[in-house]
């Protein structure tokens, strides 16, 4: 594991991809003595999933309270046998919105696509993780890739871990109440009492929900971008920002700030991928540098501004993360931590990425432009049907 940075009494270590993340997570699970909370969007039935499941079962066997929260869509392919084995091993499992039906989208359209996209863990309220890494093999299955996907997480030891513990315990309580169909005042009270003062002035846990904190992550990004003096480096897997976010980047570039975007170079979800291309001309014309990651899939959701502020988490810069999903990012004001993330991103740009040049718009065929525009319209139409059209 990387040498941790001491920030306001907390120890923060930046972890790159699953090769660093999973061994560290397993070691802390094995060291837990009282409680473990783990939240993930995807829990895959693969080698990595087995490693984490075994670690959770070992903890439960020695008397640790183990609580695993899974998203009902992202982890829907987890086999029943795995769930039975976890339950038999005394691991408590809860689902966030497991029932998904296309016939119910018209009714409750604002709720049906809300997902639990957070990737967090906390052991004994003392050690915690926040990031974008799912419980899934680091190298995608059914691919000819040899490099792990580029992603990040942060290991936190200190008072901020207690804040993360409180947030995860809160969501577990809400989901548990909902699973018993005890809705109404009790759940509203849980939601309303969720906000707490930050544990550290230089480290902020940003939790996007659909009640009081709908735009906290987006606002933090915008504040950092609008205050940038020299450089903005933003790496995001699914980049489809709204008008205000794009204008903030363009204005930063116009006042002389170097704006660098590291985006997905390989097609994973084609509508989202090509919808992003519809924004390239506007950004390139404003002087924004765009690089596409080629070594593997880009799954990062991070940014560094002026080498002093950084954020690492689960939130993409697209309408689904910013308007619909439960997300968690860590905002860190610290030059050494931010510098480490900046160096990692610059290395990925120099070694494994290609720059989208000013000639990009001219090089595209009419078919490329049509696909990009069609994809963008589809995404906007979907968001409009969900009632969020004026928000992006």
Give the tens place of pLDDT for each residue, 199-213. Answer: 678 999 999 987 778
The answer to whether position 157 is within a domain reads: yes
Contact between 265 and 294 (Cβ < 8 Å):
yes
Q: How many CA atoms lie within 13 A of 75 on its CB side?
A: 31
* Residue 204 located in a structural domain: no
Across the range 316-332, mean pLDDT stands at 88
Q: Are 52 and 24 in contact (CB under 8 A)?
A: no
- Name the residue with higher pLDDT: 77 or 363: 77
Q: pTM of this prediction?
A: 0.90
Tokens coding 142? 């059914």
- Residue 111 CB neighbour total at 10 angstroms: 13
The range of the structural domain enclosing residue 323 comes to 216-391
Query: Which of 119, 157, 165, 277 is an active site residue?
Result: 119
Say if 207 falls within a structural domain.
Answer: no
Does one domain contain both 265 and 380?
yes
Q: How far is CA 89 from CA 65, 185, 353, 371, in A?
A: 11, 34, 44, 49
Average pLDDT over residues 21-46: 98
**Active-site annotation holds for 117:** yes
Neighbours of 168 (CB within 10 A): 25
pLDDT of res. 268: 74
Same domain, 177 and 234: no
78 and 113 housed in the same domain? yes
Question: Is there a domain that residue 60 lies in?
Answer: yes
Based on the fold, state whether residues 376 and 252 are members of the same structural domain: yes
Query: Do 35 and 137 share a structural domain?
Result: yes
Residue 205 lies in a domain: no
Across all residues in the chain, what is the average pLDDT?
86
Residue 266, pLDDT > 90, answer no
Residue 210 is assigned to a structural domain of this protein: no
In-domain check, residue 134: yes
Average pLDDT over residues 347-361: 84
Average pLDDT over residues 336-348: 98
Let me know if 119 is a catalytic residue.
Answer: yes
- Of 197, 229, 245, the residue at which a domain comes to its end is 197
Residues 85, 226, single domain; the answer is no
CATH number, residue 305: 3.30.870.10
Is 142 assigned a catalytic role? no
Q: Is residue 68 part of a domain?
A: yes
> At residue 362, does pLDDT exceed 60?
no
- Of 28, 301, 318, 334, the catalytic one is 301
| Catalytic site includes residue 299 | yes
d(CA 199, CA 33): 23
Q: What is the pLDDT of residue 148?
A: 87
Please tell me the distance from the alpha carbon of residue 21 to that of residue 76, in angstroms, as a whole number. Answer: 23
Residue-wise DSSP of 225-281: HHT-SSEEEEEESSB---HHHHHHHHHHHHTT-EEEEEEE-S-SSHHHHHHHHTTHH
Same domain, yes or no, for 238 and 171?
A: no
On whether both 246 and 375 belong to a single domain, the answer is yes
Give CA 17 to chain center in angstroms.
13
Residues 361 and 271 both lie in one domain: yes
The catalytic position among 299, 318, 334, 352 is 299
Mean pLDDT, residues 138-165 taken together: 88
Give the N- to C-terminal CA distance of the chain in Å, as an integer: 39
Give CA torsion, residues 360, 344, 274, 46, to 10 deg: 150
Domains identified in the chain, total number: 2
Residue 264 shares a structural domain with residue 323:
yes
pLDDT at 373 over 70: no
The residue ranking higher by pLDDT, 186 or 12, is 12
Of the residues 85, 202, 306, 368, only one is catalytic, namely 306
Do 153 and 39 sit in the same domain of this protein? yes
Indicate whether 187 pLDDT > 50.
Answer: no
Q: Exposed, middle or buried, 256 (CB in 10 Å: 0-12/13-18/19+)?
A: exposed
Q: Which two tokens stand for residue 376?
A: 């963008």
| From 54, 85, 124, 223, the catalytic residue | 124
Q: Which of 117, 157, 273, 277 does the annotation list as catalytic? A: 117
Give the model's pLDDT for residue 183.
Answer: 46
71 included as an active-site residue: no
Over residues 325-343, mean pLDDT: 97
Sheet holding 92-96, edge to edge: 5-7, 10-16, 152-157, 127-131, 119-123, 35-40, 65-71, 92-96
| Claim to verify: residue 149 and residue 238 sit in the same structural domain | no
Tell me if 220 sits within 8 A of 180, measured CB to CB.
no
């Amino acid at each position: 594991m990387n040498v941790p940075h001491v920030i306001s009494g907390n120890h923060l270590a930046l972890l790159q991809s699953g090769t660093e993340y999973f061994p560290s997570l397993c070691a802390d699970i094995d060291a837990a003595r009282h409680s473990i909370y783990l939240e993930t969007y995807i829990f895959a039935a693969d080698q990595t999933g087995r490693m984490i499941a075994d670690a959770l079962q070992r903890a439960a066997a020695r008397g640790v309270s183990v609580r695993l929260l899974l998203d009902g869509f992202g982890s829907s392919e987890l086999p029943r046998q795995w769930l039975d084995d976890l339950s038999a091993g005394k691991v408590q499992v809860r689902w966030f919105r497991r029932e998904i039906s296309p016939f119910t989208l018209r009714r409750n359209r604002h709720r049906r696509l809300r997902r639990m996209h957070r990737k967090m863990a906390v052991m004994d309220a003392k050690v915690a993780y926040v990031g974008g890494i799912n419980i899934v093999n680091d190298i995608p299955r059914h691919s000819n890739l040899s490099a792990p996907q580029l992603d990040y997480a942060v290991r936190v030891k200190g008072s901020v871990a207690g804040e993360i513990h409180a947030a995860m315990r809160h969501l577990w309580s809400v989901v548990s109440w909902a699973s018993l169909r005890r809705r109404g005042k009790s759940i509203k009270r849980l939601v309303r009492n969720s906000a707490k003062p930050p544990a550290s002035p230089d480290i902020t846990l940003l939790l996007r929900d659909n009640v009081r904190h709908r735009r906290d992550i987006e606002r933090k990004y915008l504040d950092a971008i609008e205050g940038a003096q020299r450089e903005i480096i933003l790496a995001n897997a699914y980049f489809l920002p709204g008008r205000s976010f794009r204008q903030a980047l363009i204005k930063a570039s116009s006042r002389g700030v170097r704006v660098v975007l590291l985006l997905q170079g390989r097609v994973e979800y084609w509508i989202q991928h090509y919808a992003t291309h519809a924004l390239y001309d506007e950004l390139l014309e404003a002087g924004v540098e765009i690089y596409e990651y080629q070594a593997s899939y880009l799954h990062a959701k991070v940014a560094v501004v002026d080498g002093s502020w950084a954020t690492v988490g689960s939130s993409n810069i697209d309408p689904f993360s910013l308007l619909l999903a439960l997300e968690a990012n860590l905002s860190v004001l610290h030059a050494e931590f931010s510098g480490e993330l900046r160096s990692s991103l610059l290395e990925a740009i120099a070694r494994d990425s290609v720059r989208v040049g000013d000639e990009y718009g001219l090089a595209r065929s009419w078919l490329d432009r049509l696909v990009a525009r069609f994809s963008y319209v589809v995404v906007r139409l979907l968001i409009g049907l969900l009632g969020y059209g004026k928000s992006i």
